[in-house]
């Protein structure tokens, strides 16, 4: 999906609900009650469904008026923008929201020419690296929460804080602001924040002799359930993901590692130094052993796990051949869309799977219950690395638009949560609560969120070293102990610049 010029997009915003959707609730607290000392800045004691229900729809937002204070609405200029957006696997509503964003921006800033490119999640990182080195980068880039530190450390980003586009820093989660802070400087603005949830097929659970309404509480339970499902039904139990150089892998493996007491560095500790390597600890080895047990010993997961992302798990899940996965709240909408596209008996069978979808919290390990505190951040590239002349006013107009309470809510409609916490008070959040099934479950994981370590080497550690460690074990090239020791050496060499 490629938007060459925002002025060419005319589709209006038209949020729609989901068929048979249940009333969803979300857990939130106001900035005044954030627990600043924990990982995300979110206080679970005050972050209640009742509270967010009470504030949803209580604030009116005029995005054009707010952004006019940053860049005049009659400003003439141009801005280039790269982002990771909806794919063919995304629900139609997500495509509609992005189209509406670009159309509304064009109407609000009719004299700003926007060249926007939607680049696949697994392609964007390397493409932006190459473009920055060749001084051909876009002016603005929205990146996954993990990536910004690398570009900041290379001097390829401009300093950028919320106040630069009209918003106070207090409007954003403290944990999210940590992800754009390196060496005491701020290099971007959060656009959306998310935590995933655990999804299971109640029908397969019942077929396997498990309680269809009860999620596995621990990672040991996941291993045991996956084995029981395979033995009793012949179907795959858990949708294990272990692809190298794909963000899907650390987003699904690190919650297990943190839960069992391990980590890449000490990012899961109360006061991380980000200097201590914990990939070769007993907790880390336990998590790797869990993967080995499911893939090699029990053969209870798809054999294609070595090359799978969550997208490759969707077909077997919808075909009633895979019982458990980790995914976003948008997974329900995606499955519903795909089921509605089927015909005849295939449609009936697919709709039964959707009916049997259940969402629960990510399982806990021996130490804790953890999930990746994820999302996206928007950045302005260093003018020296940009193709053509930097138009800072046009860039700020675009960023003000996307980082405000309206569009940080709408763009995250089915898959995430607004980065700007004022978004939770808007009419659009109220509509989300009324229409999106299971939104409450994934959002309720936010107090358990742990951000990836904010170091320049984080992308290499998470997307390459850790997946390759898993692959070495799953292909039996190394034992668990050998693979974690090798990963420890590789991380140390990376930190040492070797």
**Residue-wise DSSP of 406-468:** HHHHHTTTTT-EESBGGGGGSHHHHHHHHH-TTHHHHHTTGGGEEPPP-STTHHHIIIIIHHH
Look at residue 257 and give its three-state secondary structure.
helix
Distance separating alpha carbons of residues 215 and 232, to the nearest angstrom: 18
Distance separating alpha carbons of residues 450 and 434, to the nearest angstrom: 28
Q: So what's the pLDDT on residue 47? A: 60
Q: Please state, in angstroms and as integers, the Cα–Cα distance from residue 107 to each residue in 64, 104, 305, 332, 402, following that order.
A: 10, 5, 45, 32, 14
Contact 118/83 with Cβ under 8 angstroms? Answer: yes
Distance separating alpha carbons of residues 397 and 380, to the nearest angstrom: 12
Q: So what's the pLDDT on residue 270? A: 80
| Residue appearing with tokens 């006019």 | 68
Distance separating alpha carbons of residues 474 and 308, to the nearest angstrom: 13
What is the distance of C-alpha 469 from the center of its chain?
22
The CATH fold of domain 197-371+457-495: D-Maltodextrin-Binding Protein; domain 2 (3.40.190)
Q: Count of CB atoms within 10 A of residue 456's CB?
A: 17
Q: So what's the pLDDT on residue 17? A: 29
Q: So what's the pLDDT on residue 24? A: 30
Query: 174-184: string of b/e by CB count within 10 Å (b at 16+)?
Result: bbbbbbbbbee
Task: Give the CATH superfamily of 2-29+48-195+374-444.
Answer: Periplasmic binding protein-like II (3.40.190.10)
Q: Count of CB atoms within 10 A of residue 493's CB?
A: 11
Q: What is the pLDDT along the chain (498 residues), one digit of tens a residue?
A: 333 333 323 222 323 222 222 223 223 333 333 332 355 566 656 665 567 778 889 999 999 999 999 999 999 999 999 999 998 878 888 999 999 999 999 999 999 999 999 999 889 999 999 999 999 999 999 999 889 999 999 999 999 999 999 999 999 988 789 889 988 999 999 999 888 999 999 999 999 999 999 999 999 999 999 999 999 999 999 999 999 988 789 999 999 999 999 999 999 988 888 999 999 999 999 999 999 999 999 999 999 999 999 989 999 999 999 999 999 878 888 899 889 999 999 999 999 999 999 999 899 999 999 999 889 999 999 999 999 999 999 999 999 999 999 999 999 888 788 999 999 899 999 998 888 788 777 777 877 888 899 898 999 999 999 999 999 999 999 999 999 999 999 999 999 987
How do the domains of the chain map onto residue ranges?
2-29+48-195+374-444, 197-371+457-495
Across the strands, what pairs with 48? 28
Q: What ranges in 190-262 are assigned the alpha helix state H?
A: 202-207, 219-233, 248-260
197-371+457-495 and 2-29+48-195+374-444 share a CATH fold: yes
Across the strands, what pairs with 371? 449
Distance separating alpha carbons of residues 359 and 24, to the nearest angstrom: 12
**Which DSSP category does 295 fall into?**
I
Q: So what's the pLDDT on residue 49? A: 57
In total, the chain counts a number of residues equal to: 498
């Amino acid at each position: 999906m490629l938007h060459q010029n925002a002025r060419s997009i005319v589709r209006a915003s038209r949020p729609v609900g989901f068929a048979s959707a249940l009333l969803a609730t979300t857990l939130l607290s106001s900035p005044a009650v954030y627990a600043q000392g924990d990982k995300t800045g979110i206080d679970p004691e005050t972050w209640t469904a009742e509270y967010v229900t009470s504030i949803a729809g209580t604030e009116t937002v005029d995005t054009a008026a707010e952004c006019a204070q940053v860049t005049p609405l009659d400003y003439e200029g141009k801005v280039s923008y790269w982002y990771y957006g909806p794919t063919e696997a995304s629900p139609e509503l997500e495509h509609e929201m992005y189209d509406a964003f670009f159309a509304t921006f064009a109407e609000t800033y009719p004299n700003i020419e926007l060249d926007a490119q939607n680049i696949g999640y697994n392609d964007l990182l390397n493409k932006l690296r190459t473009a920055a080195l060749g001084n051909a980068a876009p002016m603005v880039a929205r990146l996954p929460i993990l990536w910004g530190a690398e570009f900041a450390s290379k001097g390829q980003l401009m300093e950028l804080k919320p106040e630069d586009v009209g918003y106070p820093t207090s409007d954003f989660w403290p944990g999210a602001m940590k992800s754009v802070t390196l060496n005491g400087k701020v290099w971007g603005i959060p656009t959306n924040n998310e935590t995933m949830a655990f999804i299971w097929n109640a029908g397969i659970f019942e077929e396997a002799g498990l309680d269809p309404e009860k999620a596995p509480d621990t990672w040991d339970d996941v291993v045991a359930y996956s084995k029981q499902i395979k033995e009793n039904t012949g179907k795959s139990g858990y949708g294990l993901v272990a692809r190298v150089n794909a963000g899907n892998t650390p987003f699904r493996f690190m919650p297990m590692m943190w839960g069992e007491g391990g980590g890449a560095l000490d990012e899961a500790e109360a006061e991380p130094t980000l200097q201590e390597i914990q990939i070769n600890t007993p907790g880390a080895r336990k998590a790797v052993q869990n993967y080995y047990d499911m893939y090699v010993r029990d053969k209870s997961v798809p054999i294609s796990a070595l090359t799978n992302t969550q997208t490759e798990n969707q077909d077997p899940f919808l075909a009633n051949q895979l019982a458990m996965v980790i995914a976003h709240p948008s997974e329900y909408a995606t499955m519903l869309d795909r089921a509605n596209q089927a015909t005849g008996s295939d449609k009936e069978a697919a709709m039964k799977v959707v009916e049997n979808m259940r969402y629960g919290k990510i399982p806990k390990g021996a130490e804790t219950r953890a999930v990746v505190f994820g999302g996206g951040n928007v950045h302005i590239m260093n003018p020296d690395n940009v193709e053509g002349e930097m138009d800072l006013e046009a860039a700020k107009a675009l960023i003000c638009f996307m980082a405000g309470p309206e569009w940080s809510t709408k763009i995250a409609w089915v898959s995430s949560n607004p980065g700007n916490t004022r978004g939770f008070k808007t009419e659009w959040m109220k509509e989300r609560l009324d229409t999106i099934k299971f939104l409450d479950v994934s959002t309720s994981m936010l107090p358990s969120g742990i951000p990836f370590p904010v170091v320049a080497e984080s992308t290499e550690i998470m997307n390459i070293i850790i997946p390759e460690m898993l692959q070495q074990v799953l292909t039996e090239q190394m034992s668990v102990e050998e693979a974690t020791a090798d990963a420890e050496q590789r991380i140390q060499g990376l930190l040492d610049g070797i």
